Structure 1
Amino acid sequence: MLQMPGESYRDALLPLTVEEQELAQELETDVIKIASEPHNFLAYNNLVQTAQYLENELTRAGYQVNHYQYTVDGQEFDNLEVEIPGTTQPKEIILIGAHYDSVANVPGANDNGSGAAAVLALARRFAGKPQQKTLRFVEFVNEEPPFFWTPDMGSFVYAQICDQRQDNIVGMMSLETMGYYSDRLGSQQYPAPLNLFYPMQGNFIAFIGNVDSGNWVRQAIGSFRKHTQFPSEGAAVPSFLPGVGWSDHWSFWQQGYPGLMITDTAPFRYPYYHRAEDTPDKIDYGKLAQVVAGLERVIREVTN
C-alpha cells in the first residue's frame, strides 16, 4: 500500500524554465480571478462569476463547454466539462478534475483555487492535441460543506451520470489544495500510522488513493517521478483513514471508478486551511507550476 515505483526527488529544486515561469504567472492570474473572494452557496453571485470565468477561459482555449446543471434548494449549480476524444482508444477516459467552490466565508485560494486553476492550465495545454485515450477536464461545484460526501456534492452528481451512461473512466485525478510547501522540519503532519513512514517536511506533492485504486496511484506517481524533478510521496491506503477520501475522487470511488487525489495534503500541512487567510498570496506559484508541468507529462503518458 505504501511502496511506490521510483524514488522521490531529494536534491535542490532546479530553477524554473521559461515555460514554467510563464505557467506560474498564468496560475497566479487564474487563482486571483477564481478565489480572491468567498464563492459558494452563501456567496452565490461570486460562485456564478467564478463558473463564468472558467467557462470563458475554456471557450477561449477552443473547447465546447458542456454544462451539467442541477438544483439544490432553488439554487442552480454547474459542473463544467470539456473533452478531447481519443484517437485509437476513445472509449477509455482519463478524467482530470477539481472543485472550484470555496468553503463558507473563505476565499479558498489554495482550497481550491489552486486545483481549479491547475485543471484550467492543463486543459489549455492539451487543447487541440488529441491523445490515444479520451481526455476529459471537469470543474466541479459544491465539494465543500454542507454538500461534502452527500448526493448534492457536484462531483457525486457528475460521477453518477458517468456511471448511468456507462462511461469507461480508467483513471480519475482530483487536483486538490496544491500550492503550499515548506522545508521546515515538523511542517508536515499525518493521520496515524502514516507518520511512521513519511517525511516531516511539507515540501512534496502527494498522490493518494484507496486500495482499489492502487494500480492507478502507482502508475501516476511512477510517471511523475520518471519525468519530473520534484519531491513526491504516494499511498494507496484504506479509505477510512482521515484525509484519504477528502475530495472529489471519493465520488468516483462510489461508482467503482479508480480515483486519486493530488495534493499538498491540505489540513495536514496548510496552516490557513478553511480560514479567511486562505488568500492568493499564500500560494507558492513557482512550485505549483513545477507540479502542474509534471502532471502535464504524466497525463500525456497515461493517455498514450
Structure 2
Amino acid sequence: MRTALFLLAGALMSGGCHAEGQPPKPTVAEPTVAEPTVAEPTVAEPRERAPDPELVAALRGHVQVLAGEIGGRGIGPGDAGTSTLDAAAAYLRQQWTAQGYEVHAQAYTVGEQQVENLFVRVPGRSPALVVVGAHYDTCDGNPGADDNASGVAALLELSRRLAATEPERTLHLVAFANEEPPYFKDPQTMGSAVHARALREQGEEVEAMLSLESIGYFSDVRGSQHYPAILAPLYPETGDFVAVVGKNGSRPLVRRVVRGLETHGPIPVESIAAPASITGIDWSDHWSFWREGWAQAVMVTDTATYRNPNYHEMSDLPETLDYRRLALVTEALEATIRELAGS
C-alpha cells in the first residue's frame, strides 16, 4: 500500500455521466454490447485465498438481477423513467426484509417523479453512526454492473453478515438514488445529499462513512490501470487493487480503512488523501457527507474509468466482473466495518 497522494490534475474514479469536468477515458479499444470487455482471469498469488463460495454466488446473483434483468436504473435523460429504479428499490426492499430488517424509505420528489433512499440499521450501544452506502441508479440507461450493482451487491451481503452483530456504534446501511448526472452534486435531487442533510437535521452523529463505488472490475494484465500521465510512474500498471479515496481531512479514516482491508484481505490496496478541490476526489456519495461537515467519509473503488473500459457504457454487463475478487473485497470490508463499529 502506498500512502503518497494521487495528485490528480485530470481526476479520479467514478461520478459523472460524461459530465463537465469528467476525465477522458483511458486509451483503450471501445467495447461493444455484443463483446463486452471481460475482466482477465485471476492469477493466483501467494497472498491469495479462496473466498466463501456462497458469497461469490450471492454477489453474482444480485448483480445479475440489477444489471442483467432490470438493466438501466434511473430517471435522467436516456433512462426509462422510474419503472426500473422502482424495480431496483423493490429488490432491495425484498432482500433486506428477508434478512430480517425493518426497511426505512426516505422518499422525495424530483420534478414530477418520486424516488427513494432505502436504509436499514443494526442498533449499537451508542447512537453514533457508521454509515455504509452505495448508489443503485445508473448512467444514461446503461446496465451498470460495475457502476454500481457491484457496490449494491456488496452492501446487501454486508447487511446479511452484520445483522446478528451487537456493535458499539450503530450500523446504518443505505442505498442511494440519483447519484449519477444530471443529479450529481445537486443538493436537492442527489439521493445521498438529501439523506446526509436529513441525518444532520435530525441531530445524528456520523463517525465514519464508506461509499462503495464500482468495486467489481479487476485485471491482471500489465497496462490495464491508467492515470493522468504525471502519475503513471508512481503507481501500479496493473488493475488488481482496490483504492480508498478521501480528502485531507479524511486521512484518519483512510488509514483505518486501508489497514483493515490489508489486514483482512489479500487484494492489494492503494490510497489517496488529497485536497477536496482536486477534481474527482469527491466523485461519489461521500461528497454529500463532507458537505454536511462530516470529514470522515471515504470512497472505496476499483477506480472505474481509469481501469474499466466498460465504464458508463452499455457493455457494463454482469459477465465483465470478477466475482471472486469482489467477494474477497466484501469479506475484508465486513471485518473493517466491524472494527469501525466496535463489534
Per the TM superposition, whether the score is higher than 0.5 is: yes
What is the alpha-carbon root mean square deviation over aligned residues? 1.5
Does structure 1 conserve the Cα–Cα contact (< 8 Å) formed by 2:49 and 2:266? Answer: no
How much has 1:197 moved relative to structure 2? 2.6
Letter in 2 for 1:66: H
2:238 to 189, 201, 212: 201
Contact 1:191 1:242 in 2 (8 A): no
Q: Which moved more, 1:37-46 or 1:76-85?
A: 37-46
Deviations 1:22-66 (A, max 9, x none): 111000100111122111113221110100000110011010011
1:12 Cα deviation after fit: 3.8
- The answer (yes or no) to whether the contact 1:62–1:128 under 8 Å persists in 2 is no
The list of structure 1 runs, each at least 4 consecutive aligned residues, that deviate by more than 4 angstroms after superposition, is none
- Match for residue 38 of structure 1 among 72, 86, 89: 72
Counterpart of 1:29 (choices 61, 69, 74) is: 61
Residue matched to 2:139: 103
- Stretches of structure 1 lacking an aligned partner (at least 5 in a row): 5-9
Instruction: Flag the structure with more relative contact order, 1 or 2, with Cα contacts below 8 A and sequence separation at least 6.
Output: 2
Q: Quick one: distance in 1 between partners of 2:64 and 2:328?
A: 19
Q: Counterpart in 2 of 1:269?
A: 307
Q: What are the within-5 Å matches in structure 2 for residues 111-122 of structure 1?
A: 111-122=147-158
Which residue among 85, 95, 111 is the counterpart of 1:47? 85
Q: Which amino acid aligns with 2:3?
A: Q
Q: Offset at 1:117?
A: 0.8
**Change over 3 Å in CA distance of 1:93–1:191 after alignment to 2:** farther
Q: Distance in 2 between matches of 1:126 and 1:73?
A: 36
The alignment partner of 1:292 has SS state of: helix
- 1:83 — aligned with what? 121
**2:26 corresponds to which residue?**
none
Give the paired residue count.
294
Instruction: Give the secondary structure class of the aligned counterpart of 2:131.
Output: strand
* TM-score when normalising by structure 2: 0.83
Percent identity for Structure 1 against Structure 2: 40
DSSP 3-state at the match of 2:127: strand
**Residue 196 of structure 1: CA displacement?**
4.1
- Which is worse superposed, 228-237 or 284-293? 228-237
Answer whether contact 1:38 1:107 (CA < 8 A) is retained: yes
**3-state DSSP of counterpart to 1:83:** strand
Q: Once the two structures are superposed, what CA deviation does each residue of 1:7-33 show, in whole Å capped at 9, x if it has no partner?
A: xxx94452414xx21111000100111
Q: Which amino acid aligns with 1:40?
A: G
Instruction: Kindly indicate whether residue 280 of structure 2 is the aligned counterpart of residue 248 of structure 1.
Output: no
- What are the within-5 Å matches in structure 2 for residues 145-164 of structure 1? 145-151=181-187, 152-164=189-201
Q: Verify: 1:228 aligned to 2:249, yes or no.
A: no
Q: Quote how far apart the aligned CAs of 1:104 are.
A: 1.1
